[in-house]
Amino acid sequence: MCTQLCSQKHLCSQKLCNTYCNLSEAACLTAPCLTAFLHVQDIAPRYSGVLLGMSNTAGVLAGVLGTAATGMILKTGTWDDVWRVAIGLYLVGTVIWNLFSTGEQIID
């Protein structure tokens, strides 16, 4: 099959490897999003769309501000400093999540 699709075996194996890697990466990046959708529907089924929009907005803002913050840190510091900030924020977020998150319905 591979030789029928591609004229060169090297090119075909490269395309198959790229396809496999891209699909597996997409699957791994999408899996955590599924749990976020379910959690929002558990805590506020009637307003799950609004809450999901708010959480997606917060995630996009974190990406934008994180890029700017990384640039500012790298002007005077190193990548080690960037990773320390990222690890610190991750740990703080984890503690807050574990203290306040619940799977019970909060809003009707």
What does the pLDDT profile of the chain (108 residues) look like in tens digits? Answer: 444 444 445 445 555 555 555 555 555 555 555 666 777 788 888 888 898 899 889 889 989 999 999 999 999 999 999 999 999 999 998 899 888 877 777 777
Which helix (H) or strand (E) segment holds residue 93: the answer is helix 79-100
Identify the pLDDT of residue 19.
59
Cβ atoms within 10 Å, residue 42: 14
Q: Which residue has the tokens 């799977």?
A: 103
Candidates 32, 2, 27, 24; CA nearest to 15 is 2
Provide CB contacts within 8 A for 102, sequence distance 6+: 43
Candidates 60, 66, 57; CA nearest to 86 is 66
